[in-house]
Amino acid sequence: AQRVTQPEKLLSVFKGAPVELKCNYSYSGSPELFWYVQYSRQRLQLLLRHISRESIKGFTADLNKGETSFHLKKPFAQEEDSAMYYCALSGSTSSASKIIFGSGTRLSIRP
Amino acid sequence: EPEVTQTPSHQVTQMGQEVILRCVPISNHLYFYWYRQILGQKVEFLVSFYNNEISEKSEIFDDQFSVERPDGSNFTLKIRSTKLEDSAMYFCASSDSEEQETQYFGPGTRLLVL
């Protein structure tokens, strides 16, 4: 079964502290993994994807196939990082790939 | 930067009524999607559309739902006879052929069925 699990509904950290948002997935095959972010009153937007191996807004995520994890990390949290974060995977047998989302983690950065 | 747009932003309807949610995908995109998010739950895939036909649909996408690309710009989701449990945020998304997995989302339409 294809599934994305985000165990934390809410994560609250102080500004400047490290952040780690957990994500585990279940997929038979080689999925594409993503992190989407939704800031207050804004649309869902792609934050990063595992094949890019890039750092966006200081965030990185490493795909660990052994642990089937794709945790999102940032060494020093900023107040503007407060948002809803969704881990997601893309995988489909059809020509158009659907995205399967986790339930999301609300990140709150305290000043 | 081009964006996916959706209209209306909010819709209130009576149970049993038909609703049409509209989306204008990014102009050079060829793949189109609808997702929904019931309040407090995760974003769920409904349907994908490519080359003027449905590519894949979820269990949620039953006979009450249909999609259409009536012209070169719009992509619509119709719910024939709404039920209370159809109340949700509906998101449209699109992607291009080069990076099909990177989907760009619209702002959503909040549907409330009374």
CA separation for the pair B88, B52 (Å, rounded)? 26
Tell the residue number behind the tokens 């949610």, with chain if given: B21
Please give the structure tokens belonging to residue B69. Answer: 């690309």
At A94 the pLDDT is 60
CA separation for the pair A22, A34 (Å, rounded)? 13
CB B46 within 8 A of CB B58: yes
Cβ distance B101 to A32 less than 8 Å, yes or no, reads: yes
pLDDT single digits (tens) A31-52: 889 999 999 988 999 999 887 7
At B93 the pLDDT is 96
Compute the C-alpha angle A51/B108/B31, nearest 5°.
50
pLDDT single digits (tens) B44-89: 999 999 988 999 999 999 999 999 998 878 999 999 999 999 999 9
Comparing alpha-carbon positions, the chain A residue that sits nearest to B32 is A96
CB B44 within 8 A of CB B90: no
Q: Which one of A36, A96, A100 has the shortest CB-CB distance to B31? A: A96
Nearest-CA neighbor of A72 among A52, A48, A103? A48
Q: Per-residue confidence at A92, pLDDT binned at 50, 70, 90?
A: low
CA separation for the pair A62, A72 (Å, rounded)? 8
Q: Any residues with CB less than 8 A from the CB of B105 and at least 6 apart, and which?
A: A36, A43, A44, A45, B4, B35, B91, B92, B93
At A96 the pLDDT is 67
Q: Is A43 on the interface with B (CB under 8 A)?
A: yes
Q: Which one of B42, B56, B91 has the shortest CB-CB distance to A94? A: B56
Chain-wide mean pLDDT for chain B? 93
Cβ distance A46 to B102 less than 8 Å, yes or no, reads: yes
User: Cα torsion for A27, A31, A35, A41, to the nearest 10°?
Assistant: -80
Cα–chain center distance at B50: 14
Q: Is B108 on the interface with A (CB under 8 A)?
A: yes
Whether residue A53 has pLDDT greater than 80? no
- Give the minimum alpha-carbon distance from B29 to chain A in angstroms, rounded to a whole number: 12
Please give the structure tokens belonging to residue A33. Answer: 């993994």
Q: Any residues with CB less than 8 A from the CB of A71 and at least 6 apart, and which?
A: A20, A21, A22, A23, A61, A62, A64
Whether residue A109 has pLDDT greater than 70? yes
Whether residue A29 has pLDDT greater than 80? no
Compute the C-alpha angle A17/A21/A22, nearest 5°.
140
